[in-house]
A and B are shown apart, each in its own frame.
Chain A
Amino acid sequence: MSKQVMLAASAVAVLMSCTVNAATEIQWWHAMGGSLGDKVNEIAEGYNATQDQFVVKPVFKGSYPETMTGAIAAFRAKQQPHIVQVYEVGTATMMSADKAIYPVHQLMNDSKEKFDPTAFLPSVTGYYTANSGEMLSMPFNSSTPVLYYNKSMFEKAGLSDADAPKTWNDLELVATKLLASGAQCGFTTGYQSWVQLENFAARHNVAFASNDNGFGGLDTELLVNNKAFVDHISKLEQWSKTGAFKYGGRASDAASLFYSGECAMYMNSSASYAGIKENMPNTEFGVSELPYWPSVIEQPQNSIIGGASLWVLQGHPKQDYEGVAEFFSYLSSAKVQADWHQFTGYLPITQDAFELTESQNFYQENPGTRIAIEQMTAVTPTKNSKGLRLGNFVQIRDVVDEELEQVWSGKQSAQQALDAVTARSNELLKNFERVNSKS
């Protein structure tokens, strides 16, 4: 009953504020639940308080796929929001729908909003930038994979922070010592496609797909059945037999292996930091960069991002988009970005936000949070480490999961699995090219 009263009261309040201000409403559909969702609301409120012309209204739409398919269905019904948060694997789908999207660089230009693309971190925006250098969507929550390790399990094996593995060779030694000290498993990984193949490619400056990882056009094919990938997956397969590596499931399901102290090391998003802290309140853990193979590359390249960006959809009155542009300026301001970065563990998207965070001593007080940024920005991204733009990418990741699981269970070899991944993904890519090349 009280809920109804509250609803009614808030409805009245909304109506009143509308009649008083006649502010234009800007719909922002997002996939941030829980405390992240509260933060999103806080950002919108922060912007709404700065002016009275526009009201940004965040709407939580569920998971990433739900948010994206929801927005697409809404577009088909001509009910689309102004802004929608889309995960990185949806990038090619959004980009190809050029009649549906309003590229950010164009939006900022049309609304004469001050916009300096060079203020952004290139390794973050690269993923969402066209080959011509124009930014298509606004990066929002970006993260990159890092290596977490359990300090007390390290100690038990006679290892210190200095032993945190830099290369995969180091990691093999560390894992052996851990197993000898009684650990059940050396390491596990979240998002195996993203961490062990996509980021593996970027970090070793190896092409994941043709056409500059798909940035160059739609007639792209995967290149993951090449030697470097096969060697890496074969090695993981060997390790899965000795216990050095243990498969913990799709997406971030492997986290429980790390939380429970079964595995001493865990590779996943830099944004997993908060979750680990919450789930391991009495265990100290360290963060280090994603390992590389010195036999493949002497100095590792940057890793690539995951997460999501904000896309603007067409079909609203011109005046609305001025509000969207203004909101994007607010969103990318150093203050808002630094706060978002520190609260969530996602990467800052501008240099200013990074510097502000540093001047606030955040990295000193929270050791390990800086690693991801260093790993992203240490070197200039190459065409192999700028990102990936693949049609039907969501399904491609599923294909990778399906085929690699059969490697870990011993049903097929690394070569067989990666050949299958390539063949099946190329079908999906061809399909995507066919339905999207005409629009």
Chain B
Amino acid sequence: MNNASFGHKWLPIGLLAPQLVITLVFFIWPAAQALFQSLQMEDAFGLSTEFVGMENFVSLFMDRLYFESMFSTLVFSFSVAIIAMASALFLAVLAQRVIRGGGIYKTFLIWPYAVAPVIAGVLWLFLLNPSIGVLAHLLAALGINWNPLLNASDAMWMVVLAATWKQISYNFLFFLAGMQAVNKSLIEAAAIDGAGPWRRFWTIVFPLLSPTSFFLLVVNLVYAFFDTFGVIHAMTQGGPGTSTSILVYKVYSDGFIGLNLGASAAQSVVLMALVGVLTVIQFKYVEKRVAY
């Protein structure tokens, strides 16, 4: 690779400055603040502060509920990622085959992405609320005892559904773009050789989509970990019991409702580390080893 060189040292720094400042102010500074807070115990108003070292982390990892929350987060995130990707892929395949009015279908399928998570939560809550929801009444008519207020797995399905619905659009876009990038001649060659649409998809298109799929897997997991707070907040507030209290919701309820900044900061540091790991996996493993 050629090393391009600048005459002045200040020009490249100046050009990078806006991005550096944004990163510093919106990412590095809050992250450092969280690290700092996680080592302290403080009252709500910040009138007395005590340095406690790792104590916030110790009590976090001594807490049975924290591990339960971690487990719910994993169940939730993988369910969202897998269901959202599978349905998006299915829709993308169908949308690509549509000849007339394809643009309209595609627009409609992308639409839910513009809906804020809280709104998505409220929408689905209206549909699935056991006493007023249309879908809940339908389920009751089918003889299914649907009660997300008390049944933990019903509640989990409900939040997974709302969070998934919102994410399908994003995945759909990427899969659609990925499929359009597949070289037509490969498919035509396979068709001439007598491979049916089913076979063509699984042996040609699907493997060629693997970089997109792995990218989406990481993005979806990160989405389920962090951006779904609004869905949980609007639909279950972590209940019943603590069954849908995922990690990011716990950060919010301990920090912003409970005003326990130390414990909340310690939890965000743990989350930060988790995302770090996911990102490393994406860069080191996924980006290099996806086979074509």
Contacts and interface: CB of A to CB of B under 8 A. Distances in A.
A401 B50 CA distance: 31
B259 A405 contact: no
Given A257-B131, A394-B257, A395-B257, A411 B241 contact: yes
Contact of B150 (A72, A256, A405, A438): A405
Interface stretch (A200-208, A323-331, A429-437): A429-437
Nearest to B45: A97
Contacts of A409: 150-152, 240-241
B239 A405 contact: yes
A103 B50 CA distance: 26
A72 B45 contact: yes
Counting contact residues on chain B (CB < 8 A from A), the size range is 20 to 34
B227 interface: no
Contact of B41 (A93, A262, A405, A434): A434
A341 B286 CA distance: 64
B36 to A, nearest CB: 14
A76 B45 contact: yes
Contact of A435 (B50, B149, B238, B254): B50
Contacts of B256: 65, 69
A394 B132 contact: no
A249 interface: yes
B253 interface: yes
B77 interface: no
A398 interface: yes
B39 to A, nearest CB: 14
B258 A392 contact: yes
A75 B238 CA distance: 29
Contacts of A97: 43-45, 47
Contacts of B50: 435, 438
B66 to A, nearest CB: 13
A247 B240 CA distance: 11
User: Which of the four size classes fits the interface of chain A?
Assistant: 35 or more
B132 A439 contact: no
A247 B149 contact: yes
Given A69-B259, A247-B150, A76 B46 contact: yes
A409 B256 CA distance: 29
A439 B46 CA distance: 9
B151 A435 contact: no
A435 B237 contact: no
Contacts of A256: 129, 131-132
Nearest to B125: A253
B52 to A, nearest CB: 10
B48 A435 contact: yes
A256 B133 CA distance: 11
A439 to B, nearest CB: 4
B45 A392 contact: no
A390 B41 CA distance: 19
A248 interface: yes
Interface string A242-285: 00000111100100110010100000000000000000000000
Nearest to B152: A409
Contact of B43 (A253, A398, A406, A436): A436
Contacts of A436: 43, 48
Contacts of B239: 250, 401-402, 405
Contact of A262 (B45, B131, B150, B258): B131
B146 to A, nearest CB: 14
Given A408-B150, A438-B50, A395 B254 contact: yes
Given A250-B239, A405-B239, A411-B241, A99 B47 contact: yes
A248 B50 CA distance: 42
B240 A93 contact: no
Given A97-B45, A250-B237, A402-B241, A72 B151 contact: no
Interface in A382-439: 392, 394-395, 398, 401-403, 405-406, 408-409, 411, 431, 434-436, 438-439
Contacts of A65: 256-257
A336 interface: no
A92 to B, nearest CB: 10
B220 to A, nearest CB: 28
Nearest to B151: A409
Interface string A89-106: 000010011011000000
Given A392-B260, A395-B257, A435-B41, A100 B47 contact: yes
Contacts of B238: 398, 402
14 contacts: A72-B259, A97-B47, A253-B149, A392-B258, A394-B258, A395-B254, A401-B239, A402-B238, A402-B240, A405-B149, A405-B240, A409-B151, A434-B41, A436-B48
Interchain residue pairs A-B with the least CB separation, the first 9: A439-B48, A405-B240, A439-B47, A409-B150, A97-B45, A438-B48, A395-B258, A435-B43, A256-B131
Interface of A: 65, 69, 72, 75-76, 93, 96-97, 99-100, 247-250, 253, 256-257, 260, 262, 392, 394-395, 398, 401-403, 405-406, 408-409, 411, 431, 434-436, 438-439
Interface of B: 41-48, 50, 129, 131-132, 149-152, 237-242, 253-254, 256-260
Given A256-B129, A435-B42, 20 more contacts: A75-B45, A96-B43, A97-B44, A97-B47, A99-B47, A249-B149, A250-B239, A256-B131, A395-B260, A398-B257, A403-B241, A405-B149, A406-B241, A409-B151, A409-B240, A435-B41, A435-B43, A435-B48, A439-B45, A439-B47
